[in-house]
Amino acid sequence: MAELTYRAAVSRGIAQEMRRDPSVVFIGEDVAGAGGVFKTTAGLLEEFGPARVVDTPISEQAILGAAMGAAMTGLRPIAEIMFADFFAVCWDIVVNQLAKSRYMTDGQVDCPLVIRSGNGGAVRFGAQHSQSVENWAMAVPGIKIVAPSSALDVVGLMAAAVRDPDPVLFFEHKALLATKQDVPDGEIVDTLGTARTLREGGHCTIVALALMVPRALEAAERLAAEGIEATVIDVRSLMPLDTNTILTSVASTGRLFTVEENPRLCGWGAEIASIVADEVFWDLDGPIVRITTPHIPLPAAENLEDLAIPSVDRIVDEVRRAMT
């Protein structure tokens, strides 16, 4: 048991899998010699050498294409897209190639790979380096998606992602990199497609992801002090989606709140809201409320960005308003 940062958990998870399986290789921009611009991959080059840990040119399409072709032919690559915003320059490989090749070939093509990326805001990087794009991917059948909120989940879900036979997008939240957690020693392997209930409360269900998870938890504590007991669920995996955990909770609490960092429209919370409004409609005791970043690009100025992304205060206010 040692205290681990979310940042260090990334390289621990990757190293765990690279030690286990020689077919795991890792490529990206400035990931080897420099250990990554977020220092999430420090030490991998030193341990696994330049054949398995590779610095690439600024060529995102070539990077993901190389990862895909290698995955089709016996390797299990991990590729880094430095900032999730950059998926826009290589989106074709993700949504048109990786996501569809198995189906189009009726199962002939395997793409066991992981694409890691620094996702999300609250770091004052401005509109082109702060987006939460997990819902871009959720709209496309054929790719799995995880977005861990803690160091422990980073290690375990990284292992699960690398071992999964399908392409997995692994979203690391930039604003969580410095957070710490006690993580057990030894091998850790988690399961994709499983949400985690972090807090039990009978009055309402709050569903959150990544950076929104600690904020939702803190909000729940404050709401409890006011007599509103919330269940808080960390979705963790958007594809596959653990609808059981969510539906069961909402069926018992009767109220659903989603806390989403993405700009509002077509966020993952919209999908969950629509599932709930269909499947447990008769259990609902009131409106479904989504707490999201407004539908605007993210501003750079600290005070403005803090107003944009759902804060603990805003979560508390919106839940209180809706529950009373």
Partner 1 sequence: MNAVASREAAYGQHPPVLPEPFDPNMDQAAIPEDVRLDMYRKQHEIRQLEKRLYDLFLQNLVKGTSHLAIGMEAIGAAFGAALRPDDYSFATYRGHGHTIARGVPPEPIIAEMLGRATGLLGGKGGSMHLTSVEHGMMGSYAIIGAHLCIANGAAWSAKLRNSGQVAVAFFGDGATNIGAFHEAVNYAAVYHLPTVFVCENNLYMEYTSIGQVTPVRNPAADRSPAYGLDATIVDGNDADAVYLAAVAAIDRARDDGGPSIIEAKTYRHGGHSRADPGTYRPDDEISAWMEHDPIPMYHQRLLRLGVGEAQLTEIETSVAAAIDAATEAAKAAPFPPAEALWTNVWADGGSQWRN
Ligand X SMILES: Cc1ncc(C[n+]2csc(CCOP(=O)(O)OP(=O)(O)O)c2C)c(N)n1
Could you give the residue numbers annotated as active site?
A: 60, 129
- Residue 240, preceding peptide bond in cis (omega within 30° of 0): yes
Selection from partner 1, ligand X, its own copies, none that 284 binds (CB < 5 to 8 A by kind) is its own copies
Q: Whole-angstrom Cα distance, residue 62 to residue 58?
A: 9
Q: Which helix (H) or strand (E) holds 215?
A: helix 212-225
Q: Contacts with ligand X: how many residues (CB under 6 A)?
A: 6
Q: Is 237 helix (H, G, I), strand (E, B) or coil?
A: strand
Nearer to partner 1, 61 or 252 (CB): 61
Residue 148 in tokens: 């861990």
Site string for partner 1, 25-54 (x = CB under 8 A): x---xx--xx--x-------------x--x
Contact between residue 111 and residue 167 where contact means Cβ atoms under 8 Å apart: yes
Nearer to its own copies, 224 or 284 (CB): 284
Sole window of 12-20, 65-73, 200-208, 253-261 interacting with partner 1 (rule: CB under 8 A):
65-73
Footprint of ligand X on 88-107 (CB under 6 A) = 89
Footprint of partner 1 on 172-211 (CB under 8 A) = 193
Selection from partner 1, its own copies, ligand X, none that 301 binds (CB < 5 to 8 A by kind) is partner 1
The answer to the question of residue 80 lying near ligand X (CB under 6 A) is no
Site string for its own copies, 166-205 (x = CB under 8 A): ----------------------------------------
| Nearest partner of 120 among 270, 298, 243, judged by Cα | 298
The count of C-alpha atoms lying within 13 angstroms of the C-alpha of 25, restricted to the half-sphere facing its C-beta, is 22
Q: Are strands 237-239 and 204-208 parallel, antiparallel or unpaired?
A: unpaired
Minimum distance, C-beta of residue 123 to ligand X, in the bound complex (Å): 14
The answer to the question of residue 297 lying near its own copies (CB under 8 A) is yes
| Nearest partner of 116 among 87, 139, 88, judged by Cα | 87
Residue 133 in tokens: 């794009």
**How many other CB atoms are found less than 10 A from the CB of residue 77?**
25
Footprint of ligand X on 240-259 (CB under 6 A) = none
The answer to the question of residue 84 lying near ligand X (CB under 6 A) is no
Burial (CB count <10 Å: 0-12, 13-18, 19+), residue 321 = exposed
The answer to the question of residue 125 lying near its own copies (CB under 8 A) is no
DSSP H helical ranges for 254-301: 268-279
Selection from its own copies, ligand X, partner 1, none that 290 binds (CB < 5 to 8 A by kind) is its own copies
Residue 54 in tokens: 């590779």
Site string for ligand X, 39-68 (x = CB under 6 A): -------------------x-x--------
Minimum distance, C-beta of residue 275 to its own copies, in the bound complex (Å): 9
Footprint of partner 1 on 11-30 (CB under 8 A) = 25, 29-30
Render the burial of 205-216: b for 16+ CB within 10 Å, e for the rest: bbbbbbbbbbbb
